[in-house]
């Protein structure tokens, strides 16, 4: 791991990605990448206002040309990426019989293909430097059984598998790849597909079902990310780590 190096975060305009960008900007130049370009620019401005340095880039991680364009811009304007957090994601609810093909494709394209394309984009820099750390965003749902989440669960399981596969392929290059598997974290994604009343009810139900008795905050996931990108986790690769309030224990 290289402190003070460039850190690429996708999904950095909101929620966990945003909290991570703000925290890690104390030790890195953060590339704030998101499909929401205005949101990314706002987070980069917040970092600058706090004395850090950041670059905002608009990208659609599910589009190979867009990921390539992002990496070209980073190569030209910033330099090698030796730390990365791929957090871009969406949540579309639906039981299996009702999930439209287009929703299935979006879920798989953004999570699985997007994570793969972003890993592919930064690995050459890390191989060249013989060091690097990547954290991919999976979920507790990668290893749980939950109704109404088939596409999401399949995509998050795939990210966990992808993480292990890349970890074993690149360990010899001193590159570590781990995954985060959070439980319910209070971010805008929890509102997705829900009315305000449904969201409030879901928050209460989720909080009451958790051993810790409350939803997690994005900053609590960012703290674990900070550890996984640092030398404090130098002997960890191919793992999924669960900041989850005890939702899943294994
Ligand atoms: N919040 C939770 O409870 C929770 C739990 C487990 C895992 N996660 C995962 O954490 C990640 C971040 O979610 P969050 O909770 O911060 O939600 P969020 O909605 O606040 O943030 C998601 C971000 O991803 C961006 N994004 C979506 N599609 C994109 C694309 N194609 N290209 C680039 N950016 C894109 C969005 O614009 C948004 O800024 C997601 O992968 C999510 O699945 C969240």
pTM above 0.95, yes or no: yes
- Name the strand (E) or helix (H) holding 55: strand 53-58
Which of 9, 10, 11, 157 gets mutated to test ligand 1 (max ligand atoms within 8 A of its CB)? 11
Instruction: Please tell me if the CB atom of residue 138 comes closer than 6 angstroms to any atom of ligand 1.
Output: no
Domain extents in the chain: 6-241
**Model confidence over 178-219: pLDDT tens digits?**
999 999 999 999 998 899 999 999 999 999 999 999 999 999
The CATH label, of 3.30.465.10, 3.40.50.970, 3.40.50.720, 3.30.360.10, for the domain at 6-241 is 3.40.50.720
Contact between 18 and 9 under an 8 Å Cβ cutoff? The reply is: no
Instruction: Please tell me if the CB atom of residue 16 comes closer than 6 angstroms to any atom of ligand 1.
Output: yes
Which of 8, 13, 15 gets mutated to test ligand 1 (max ligand atoms within 8 A of its CB)? 15
pLDDT tens, the chain, 250 aa long: 444 499 999 999 999 999 999 999 999 999 999 999 999 999 999 999 999 999 999 999 999 999 999 999 999 999 999 999 999 999 998 899 999 999 999 999 999 999 999 999 999 999 999 999 999 999 999 999 999 999 999 999 999 999 999 999 999 999 999 999 999 999 999 998 899 999 999 999 999 999 999 999 999 999 999 999 999 999 999 999 999 999 999 8
Closest by alpha carbon to 31, among 14, 51, 9, 46? 9
């Amino acid at each position: 791991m290289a402190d003070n190096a460039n850190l690429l975060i996708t999904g950095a305009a909101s929620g966990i990605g945003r909290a991570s960008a703000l925290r890690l900007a104390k030790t890195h130049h953060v590339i704030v990448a998101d499909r929401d370009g205005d949101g990314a620019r706002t987070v980069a401005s917040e970092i600058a206002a706090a004395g850090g340095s950041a670059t905002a880039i608009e990208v659609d991680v599910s589009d190979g040309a867009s990921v390539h364009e992002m990496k070209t811009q980073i190569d030209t304007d910033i330099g090698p990426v030796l730390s990365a957090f791929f957090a871009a994601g969406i949540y579309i609810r639906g039981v299996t019989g009702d999930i439209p093909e287009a929703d299935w494709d979006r879920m798989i394209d953004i999570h699985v293909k997007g994570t793969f394309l972003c890993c592919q984009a930064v690995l050459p820099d890390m191989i060249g430097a013989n060091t690097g750390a990547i954290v991919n965003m999976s979920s507790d749902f990668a290893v749980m059984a939950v109704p109404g989440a088939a596409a999401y669960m399949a995509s998050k399981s795939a990210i966990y598998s992808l993480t292990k596969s890349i970890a074993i392929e690149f360990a010899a290059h001193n590159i570590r790849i781990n995954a985060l598997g959070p439980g319910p974290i209070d971010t805008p994604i929890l509102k997705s597909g829900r009315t305000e009343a449904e969201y409030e009810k879901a928050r209460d139900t989720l909080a009451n079902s958790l051993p810790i008795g409350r939803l997690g905050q994005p900053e609590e996931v960012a703290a674990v990310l900070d550890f996984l990108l640092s030398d404090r986790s130098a002997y960890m690769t191919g793992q999924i780590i669960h900041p989850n309030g005890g939702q899943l224990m294994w």
